Structure formats: structure tokens, C-alpha cells
Amino acid sequence: MRSVGIIESSVPIFTSSNSSVTGGCGNLGIEAARALLEHGVSGVSLFDVNPAQAQGVVDKLRSDFPLAKIITKKVDVRDQQAVQAAVAETADELGSLDILLCFAGVVACNHALDVALEEWKRTLDINTTGSWLCAQAVAKQMIEQGTGGSIVFTASISGHSVNFPQPQVSYNVSKGALLQLKSSLAAEWARYGIRVNSISPGYMDTILNEGPGLEEARKLWYSRNPMGRMGDPSELTGVVVLLCSRAGRYINGADILVDGGGSVF
């Protein structure tokens, strides 16, 4: 990588860097991968529980960035062996692993008195434990390489305050835990040149926030945001590039809110 002062879209700020993106075939993962590729990342490995369903999107990435190596790995982030295998294969196929973006996640909306144990465990296993398993495996690879790197978790405004009007205790807890995980790993792994940060998006216009029954909730979310709207997945990419590149080389243990100012109320 080289140092940069002013970032222009035509100037690559990554050189010989390779990344893994969990939930890589979802809205947020694809936008983040595209942003890294636009800024010069040479390889991307998209981890997803069902990458085949997004084959058209992946093919478009390959067409748009013919000089980059873009691979997919079928991975359930709850499966430690699958995660470890995908990380090892990615490092072997791409040559190194320098960036990890954790976007794999699920949401569940039920009143606390009605939350079943399996629902609770599934949400925390994917959102929190899955992020931990990926971070641990990637950190071991980065330490073996001796190159350091950047790990970015996707937390949420839900980790900072209780959502309204929907009840979603398991999701809120899973994201709050990620904030502490981020800080703990940032403290431990900085000695290896590994920076660990998180992004806390507000309400983003993705599949998780669509569907029957959410129309009234969406109206409320608009009304409680100074910008009067939800975020577009592409509006997370500036923070992604900052945290993953040398532009953010002294940012460690930070959480950056990207919520249109919704948290100011």
C-alpha cells in the first residue's frame, strides 16, 4: 500500500491487497466488495451461505474488474471448520489475506417474552459468534503472513440504543456484543499490526428491512431521522474504504456511526 493525502476515484489506494467479505453476496457485502475493487484491491473472496443465488451479481463484478481475482466460498459462519477452510483456501488462491469485512447477519423481531431459545441462539450464533470465528481465523492467517491487516465488524445503531417501534432483543444484544468484541480484539491484536474496528449502520434499505408488516415501521424510521430517509448500501462504502486502507492506519478500536444523524434524537 502507499500513503495518500487526497483520495481521488482514479487513484488506487490499495496495492497487492486481498480481502474476504462475509455475507459477501448480500446487498451490503457486494457494495463493499465493489468499493474495495474500485480503489485497487487485487482480490476478493466472497463468503456466503449460498453464493450460487447471486451468481449474476458476482459475474458482473468479474466483468467490471477483469484484472482482479474474485472468488466465492460457500460458508456458514457458524461452522468453525468451514470458516477455517475458507480462510486457508482464500489465502492460498489470492496469495494473502489482508482485509476482513463481516457483513453476515440476520434479524429477528419478537417481543422478549415470546423469543424462543432457538431464535435467540441463531441470531447470536450468526451475528456475534460467526463474526468472532471469522476474525480469529483471519487474524491467525495475518499473523502467519506477518503483514498485519484490517478487520471490520458490522455492528449497528441497535448496539447503541433500543430500536423503535419493533422489538428485537436478540438482534440488539448480538450487535452490542460486537462492539465489545471489536474493542477487545483491537487491544489484543494491535501488536501484530492488525486493526479492528466496526461500522454501526442506521436503517439501511436492504432485504432485512423489507417485506409485509414493515410499512408503518419504515414510515416511523423516516420521521425519526433528520435526513428523512433510510440509507443506501452504497453509503457505507466510504467508511469501508477508510477503515480498510492506509487512510485509516491510526484508527483502531473505533466504531463509526453511519445513520444519517438518526442517533442524535
| Residues assigned a catalytic role | 156, 171, 175
Contact 24, 134 (CB under 8 A): no
Q: At 120, give phi and psi (nearest 5°).
A: -60, -50
Instruction: Identify any residues that bridge with 154 across adjacent strands, giving them in sequence order.
Output: 199
The span from the CA of 138 to the CA of 24, in Å, is 15
The span from the CA of 42 to the CA of 182, in Å, is 26
The residues, ordered by sequence, that sit 6+ positions from 83 with a Cβ below 8 Å of its Cβ are 47, 75, 77, 130, 133, 134, 137
The span from the CA of 105 to the CA of 258, in Å, is 17
